[in-house]
Amino acid sequence: MGVAGSFVHDLAGQAAYQAGTASHISGVVAEGDRLAVTLVEPAADFPARMAMSFFCAVPLNTPIDKNGVREIPSAGPYYIAEHVPKRRIVLKRNPNYHGSRPRRLREIRYSIGQAPAKNVADVEAGRSDYLADGFVPPNVEAEAELAGRYGPASAAARNGRQRYFVNPRLGLAYLALNTSRPLFANVRLRQAVNYAIDRRALARYGNLGTGPFPAIPTDQYLPPAMPGASPTALFPPSGDLQRARRLAPNAHGTAVLYTCNFELCRQQARVIRANLGALGLAVDVKEFPPIVMFGKASTRGEPYDIITAQWHADWVDPSTFLNFLLDQRITPRGNANLARFVDARFADKLDRIARLSGAARYPAYETLSVELAREAAPWVVFATGTVRDFFSVRLGCQVFHPFYGIDLGRLCIRK
């Protein structure tokens, strides 16, 4: 099953299939137009996982090709009519689709591999219609100019002709405070650091985005666009040093900070050093390439007190942040719990909430996310990333989904 197998570890019979002792997964049975799935135990997030692109429906005779299959019949509103690798993809309306999703455009053509400057120029001039999410303009200044002319604060937007859009992603940038070491075993000091940090300053260098909208400051343990996110303001965006000093009036010592060796991480480290210095803590900055840094962090006993981190949702459910990133189970090579946070009370709450479904699930996660941030404070969350999209003057009806991005089927040609 490749990478997809890691997201369905709870399928009945999946382990045997992966081990090669079974010819198929016993927990997946297709009969006619009905698919029956059996799990080893109930999982309330399973429908959200099934919405990932790994699990879209394809015909039984779809070939397995390490180079990718160029054309697969689609069950959605569009199908791939043409695919020329590294050059173009053409989508057309699926005549066999009878669902409720819109498909306003007759045809969608993707051009692949062009230079960023040409992409921007083509969309601005109307030779192309859409520069897709995650695009990189020639430089920061060029993107700032686009935002000024066509962004949310532009004259074009005031006239109902906004063309440059900035939307929040389902991702967080945060500092994990290592609770297994003496310095941040002290919960009041962790709370104090949360008040001392200037989130607005850190978000300017947020490594979840680039350009004039690098990141959106937040203090929430769930991205603002995630179901179950809380609207409650937890900490002042620019910090509150007086409150921090009241929580930790005798703060002293040195915090070892692990961060990446990029310039944006160096800028963040300067902010952290200044903020914590005002609280009474020295900061010893150690830089690594990201793959090296997280390799070190996966080893128990690694001597860091703070580590810069980011995470993006694999599927749309709060468990992808709270349960995964605060998993308290011990494994030989560690886990994603970079804060080394261990608290039986919160572990029990996370387990119980993960089993909830229906209307009770998201409010329970909202309450717990606030409780974790205020009472336990294993992280200093400072930003959520952004997605930017640029359109030609004739394209309208932009609808954004924080996980899937712009809904292509809803786009329309303006009158």
| CATH number for the domain harbouring residue 402 | 3.40.190.10
Whether 257 and 178 map to the same domain: the answer is yes
Whether 348 and 405 map to the same domain: the answer is no
Distance between CA atoms of 406 and 372, rounded to whole angstroms?
32
Whether 159 and 50 map to the same domain: the answer is no
In a domain, 192, yes or no: yes
In a domain, 70, yes or no: no
CB atoms within 10 A of CB 4: 12
- Domain of residue 332 covers 171-384
- Nearest 5°: phi and psi at 216? -110, 120
Whether 198 and 346 map to the same domain: the answer is yes
Whether 365 and 401 map to the same domain: the answer is no
Say if CB 71 and CB 80 are below 8 A apart.
yes
Whether 286 and 349 map to the same domain: the answer is yes
Whether 9 and 94 map to the same domain: the answer is no
Whether 202 and 175 map to the same domain: the answer is yes
In a domain, 63, yes or no: no
Give the largest CA-CA distance in the chain: 70
> For each of the chain's 415 residues, which pLDDT tens digit applies?
567 778 888 999 988 888 889 988 999 998 887 889 999 999 999 999 998 888 877 777 888 777 777 667 777 899 888 888 889 999 999 998 999 999 999 999 999 888 888 888 999 999 999 988 656 666 677 778 888 999 999 999 999 999 999 888 899 999 999 999 999 999 999 999 999 999 999 998 765 445 556 688 999 999 999 999 999 999 999 999 999 999 999 999 999 999 999 988 999 999 999 999 999 999 999 999 999 999 999 888 999 999 999 999 999 999 999 999 999 876 444 579 999 999 999 999 999 999 999 999 999 999 999 999 999 999 999 999 888 899 999 999 999 998 889 999 999 998 7
Whether 153 and 191 map to the same domain: the answer is no
In a domain, 359, yes or no: yes
Report the b/e string of 31-63 with b at 16+ CB within 10 A: eeeeeeeeeeeebbbbebbeeeebeeeeeeeee
Total number of domains constituting the chain:
3
pTM: 0.88
pLDDT at 333: 43
User: If 0-12 CB within 10 Å is exposed, 13-18 middle and 19+ buried, where does residue 397 land?
Assistant: middle
pLDDT at 251: 96
Whether 186 and 314 map to the same domain: the answer is yes
In a domain, 251, yes or no: yes
Structure tokens at 130: 């859409």
Of 121, 141, 120, 147, nearest in space to 131 by CA: 120
Whether 212 and 329 map to the same domain: the answer is yes
Query: In sequence order, what are the beta bridge partners of 87?
Result: none
Q: What is the dihedral of CA 291, 293, 296, 297, to 10 degrees?
A: -110
